Amino acid sequence: APSGTETGEIIQNSQDYTLFSWSKQKGTNPIAVEHAEGVYLYDYEGKRYIDFSSGLMNVNIGHGDQRVTDAVMRQMQQVSYVTPSCVTKPRGELGKKLAEICPGDLNKAFFTLGGADSIENAIKLARLYTGRHKILTRYQSYHGSTNAAMTASGDPRKIPVDSQQATNFVHFDLPYLYRWEYGEENLLKESVAQLERIIAYEGPNNIAAILLEGESGSSGCLQYPKGYLQKVKQLCNKNGILLIIDEVMSGFGRTGKWFGFQNHDIVPDMIAMAKGITCGYLPFGCLMVSDKIASKFDDTYLPIGLTYSAHPVCCAAAFEVLKIYEDDNLIENAAIMGRYIDQKIDELKTKHPSIGDWRNTGLLGCLELVKNRKTKEPMAPFNAKPDDMVVMNKVAAKIRELGMYTFVRWNYIFIAPPLCINEKQIDEGLAIISEAISIADGEVIL
Ligand code: PLP
């Protein structure tokens, strides 16, 4: 934006006085958002962007919902803060509601401020509960940027801070089907066998928990082979290992169910939540634990805590957001709209030779672009630095120019719009993506 304009000043202030996550500080090019409503963001020049990633896959109910603003205002006026040793009406109401929507005996909530916080506390509790120290996690996962959560992650974002790794984490591999030559059944068999071997090598009695995303998110929506999570749960049961499921991104309707793991017929021991619990209206998170785990601390000191745990205004926002999912049938809508997108992407595949793969569950989807469908050579390599993503950068720039906000990472384009989206808005968004990936089609080597 030109300097001297209102937009210019807004951007300049942020660039001069604030730091931007996950990027070089020179050359950032942010959208200055003036307001947002439903599935759209608007900048100060009045340009409209359709939000095809729901912010950071968190604004599941859509932007600017007055019902949440009202709930927040009411709670703010009544009491905006109490210490976590006091209670408020929304704290208990929210805990009860979460216990209702979570399956099995997952009945106790510890409220946090975000995803990484929930993961940190899950890891801590798993170690305390089992008296064991190791945590097994998957390469190509993301669990947050605090120390243990980042160590737990298998995302290349951890590489620059490799020297700061937390201790006692072991990673295992789960190759993705699109790039596995021997079919889904074989992938299931090999991956489970590998995990079994790792458990034996590490010593089952040393392993506190296995931590996995309910559905894979920012690593490219890499889906589990059918039956995989059930097999993992069986291995956990057999070896006295807890299963922690990270629903930070895949939770709260994103995959067409309340939680991603419900697509796999399992019940974990703990669920880490954030994002869609308040949809970004306020920062918040939750660690849901089973009665079995919670009761261990009935007569034993629980050594976890946060100044803002169970923040009353955040609890009120979350309680209202959960009501909106139900009142507006958003979870059903996510499943229906997800199937609609699947159909439309099938049509796009015939038109665009650069589309290698489409992986989607509900409204958590990712297009993978390739230079050649046979060799599957990616349009940009895994962990490509932004400067090296020449073609994908052009695709991303086109997407933005045409009025869309979404994530383009390596050779992936994420499609994860708010759950309130309708067919017409999906058509509008996919038309933008179709036009933008024509640029990538030009790079396909036949
Ligand atoms: N877990 C998953 C699966 C995520 O996708 C994220 C964030 O993207 C996190 C944890 C971390 O959440 P937060 O950024 O709120 O700390």
What CATH number corresponds to the domain at position 290?
Answer: 3.40.640.10
348, amino acid identity: L
Q: Is residue 124 part of a domain?
A: yes
pLDDT computed for residue 388 by the predictor = 87
pTM summary value: 0.98
Closest CA to 128 of 1, 246, 242: 242
Task: State the distance from the centre of ligand 1 to the C-alpha of 222, rounded, in angstroms.
Answer: 16
Distance CA 172, CA 378 (A): 23
Closest CA to 317 of 74, 56, 40, 39: 74
Residues 308 and 342 in one domain: no
pLDDT computed for residue 385 by the predictor = 86
Residue 376: φ, ψ to 5° = 60, 25
pLDDT computed for residue 362 by the predictor = 98
114 lines ligand 1 (CB under 6 A): yes
Residues 76 and 225 in one domain: yes
Single out the residue in 287, 309, 327 at which a domain terminates: 327
Select from 249, 286, 287, 407 the residue to mutate for testing ligand 1; criterion: most ligand atoms less than 8 Å from CB.
249
Q: Is residue 17 part of a domain?
A: no
Strand order in the sheet with 242-246: 106-112, 285-290, 270-273, 242-246, 207-213, 134-138, 169-172
260 lines ligand 1 (CB under 6 A): no
The count of C-alpha atoms lying within 13 angstroms of the C-alpha of 83, restricted to the half-sphere facing its C-beta, is 2
220 lines ligand 1 (CB under 6 A): no
- Ligand 1 nearest-atom number relative to CA 116: 16
pLDDT computed for residue 386 by the predictor = 82
DSSP-derived secondary structure letter, 356:
E
- Ligand 1 nearest-atom number relative to CA 114: 15
Q: Is residue 253 part of a domain?
A: yes
Single out the residue in 269, 303, 327 at which a domain terminates: 327
Single out the residue in 297, 327, 357 at which a domain terminates: 327
The complex's ipTM works out to 0.99
Residues 79 and 171 in one domain: yes
Residues 235 and 126 in one domain: yes
Task: Answer for the pair 359, 392: CB distance below 8 angstroms, yes or no.
Answer: no
Specify the number of domains making up the chain. Answer: 2
pLDDT computed for residue 103 by the predictor = 98
CA–CA distances in Å: residue 139 to residues 144, 204, 374, 418: 14, 20, 25, 28
Residues 142 and 268 in one domain: yes
Task: State the distance from the centre of ligand 1 to the C-alpha of 203, rounded, in angstroms.
Answer: 29
Residues 119 and 213 in one domain: yes
User: Bridge-partner residues for 404, per DSSP?
Assistant: 50
Residues 56 and 74 in one domain: no
Distance CA 339, CA 62 (A): 19
Q: Is residue 256 part of a domain?
A: yes
CA–CA distances in Å: residue 377 to residues 130, 366, 388, 392, 395: 44, 17, 15, 14, 17
Closest CA to 273 of 312, 232, 321: 321
CATH number at residue 418: 3.90.1150.10
Q: Is residue 13 part of a domain?
A: no
Each residue's pLDDT expressed in tens, for the chain with a length of 446 residues: 767 788 999 999 999 999 999 999 999 999 999 999 999 999 999 999 999 999 999 999 999 999 999 999 999 999 999 999 999 999 999 999 999 999 999 999 999 999 999 999 999 999 999 999 999 999 999 999 999 999 999 999 999 999 999 999 999 999 899 999 999 999 999 999 999 999 999 999 999 999 999 999 999 999 999 999 999 999 999 999 999 999 999 999 999 999 999 999 999 999 999 999 999 999 999 999 999 999 999 999 999 999 999 999 999 999 999 999 999 999 999 999 999 999 999 999 999 999 999 999 999 999 999 999 999 999 999 999 888 899 999 999 999 999 999 999 999 999 999 999 999 999 999 999 999 999 999 999 98
- Ligand 1 nearest-atom number relative to CA 213: 3
Task: State the distance from the centre of ligand 1 to the C-alpha of 143, rounded, in angstroms.
Answer: 5
Place of tokens 């946090």: 112
Q: Is residue 14 part of a domain?
A: no
Distance CA 129, CA 108 (A): 15
pLDDT computed for residue 193 by the predictor = 98
pLDDT computed for residue 191 by the predictor = 98
Distance CA 441, CA 422 (A): 28
144 lines ligand 1 (CB under 6 A): yes
352: domain range?
Answer: 31-61+329-441
Select from 56, 244, 275, 284 the residue to mutate for testing ligand 1; criterion: most ligand atoms less than 8 Å from CB.
275
Residue with CA closest to ligand 1 atom 13: 115
249 lines ligand 1 (CB under 6 A): yes
